[in-house]
Amino acid sequence: RSSDLRPCETCRELVERFYRGLEHTANKNFGGGNTAWEEKTLSKYESSEIRLVEIIENLCDSSNFECNHMVEEHEEHLEKWWFKMKKKHSDLFKWFCIETVEVCCPSGTFGPDCLACLGGSERPCHGNGFCSGDGTRGGDGSCRCKDKYTGPFCLECAEGYYSTEEIGR
């Protein structure tokens, strides 16, 4: 169900644009002309609310409803991360999309409870396929095997392919 995958994609894009905003504003200042006074009086630009607002204003294209809705709905979480959590939780994607807003899962897991994909979260589908819903709150964890493999766990050779492992030695 792509409707379950979309919020995670939106969140991932939002976080990527947040990081681009950080890069874009990295060498800026308050722009008032007296940077030393401003930073002494208003705190440092690099951790200021003004910088955060600049970043948030550019997170979404005006036509991207899902992104704008997510920002509107969860702006207070972004502010909380910016002012209180980013030192302890430097990975915004993990903190925001997986742990706080809960629209994504860690890689190798899927579904509402972030269960391990078939074959385990380290090597979903034994590395021979793709887990349905991998990294999202959607999907069913089933494997979609690569061309040369088949079976529910992608452990069997597809028709016309043979294992190169020597058995019994």
Q: Provide the pLDDT for residue 37.
A: 52
User: 131 with 110: CB under 8 angstroms?
Assistant: yes
> How does residue 34 score in pLDDT terms, banded at 50, 70 and 90?
low
User: Global pTM?
Assistant: 0.80
DSSP characters over 10-38: HHHHHHHHHHHHHHHTTT----SS-HHHH
- Between 26 and 99, name the one with better pLDDT: 99
Taking the C-alpha atoms of residue 145 and residue 128, their distance in angstroms, rounded to an integer, is: 6
